[in-house]
Amino acid sequence: MEAEPRNPLERKLRPLLAERKVKDAIIEVKDFMRRDKLDPALNTRLHGLYKQQGDHSVTLEHGQQWLTALARAGLGAEALAALRALRAIDPTFSIREGDAVLAAATAAMRAHDTAIAADLLRGFDERFPQHKDTQGAQALRARLLSEERLQHDKSGS
């Protein structure tokens, strides 16, 4: 027999999920989120429940908040993984919250995924005018362009 989870939320969710009451589990997670809508762990848990429920539109809509929560918590690699998960559901998914872009793009650069980094940074200034991350996004875009030029020069093209 499995040990009782230490986390109070997981203690509430276990019996609900055992009975396949995913909607009730979602309500419980949202109740816990009243204190902090951008708690990264709760948003990750909620994403899993939405995915389990199978409603892609709700999962994608919540994905915006999930990405923001991860980015604001300084979890860029997790934000990139979340973005990939959301794009697996809908390849056209794009980030609507400027706060999530730089963290995910930086993580993409670290992972050598320049295609995602370039996609995220493209048009940042126009999409998010006067955003606090504009300078960082411009610097990362310049670095990306410099690396692309260096790769181009190395290939002899």
pLDDT given for residue 150 in this prediction: 67
What ranges do the domains of the chain cover?
33-155
CA 101-63-139 angle, 5° bins:
5
> Tens digits of per-residue pLDDT, 66-109?
999 999 999 999 999 999 999 999 999 999 999 999 999 999 99
**Nearest Cα to 106, choosing from 76, 84, 62, 151?**
76
Q: Do residues 131 and 124 make contact, with C-beta atoms less than 8 angstroms apart? A: yes
- CB count, 10 Å around CB of 154? 8
- CB count, 10 Å around CB of 95? 23
> Tens digits of per-residue pLDDT, 118-132?
999 999 999 999 999
- For the domain 33-155, what is the CATH code? 1.25.40
Q: Do residues 77 and 47 make contact, with C-beta atoms less than 8 angstroms apart? A: no
Distance CA 155, CA 92 (A): 31
* pTM of the predicted model as reported, rounded to 2 decimal places: 0.87
Mean pLDDT for the chain overall: 92
pLDDT given for residue 149 in this prediction: 73
Q: Where are the alpha helices (DSSP H) in 1-133?
A: 8-18, 22-32, 40-53, 56-72, 76-89, 98-110, 114-121, 124-127
pLDDT given for residue 116 in this prediction: 95
pLDDT given for residue 84 in this prediction: 97
pLDDT given for residue 153 in this prediction: 65
In this prediction, residue 155 has a pLDDT band, given cuts at 50, 70 and 90, of low
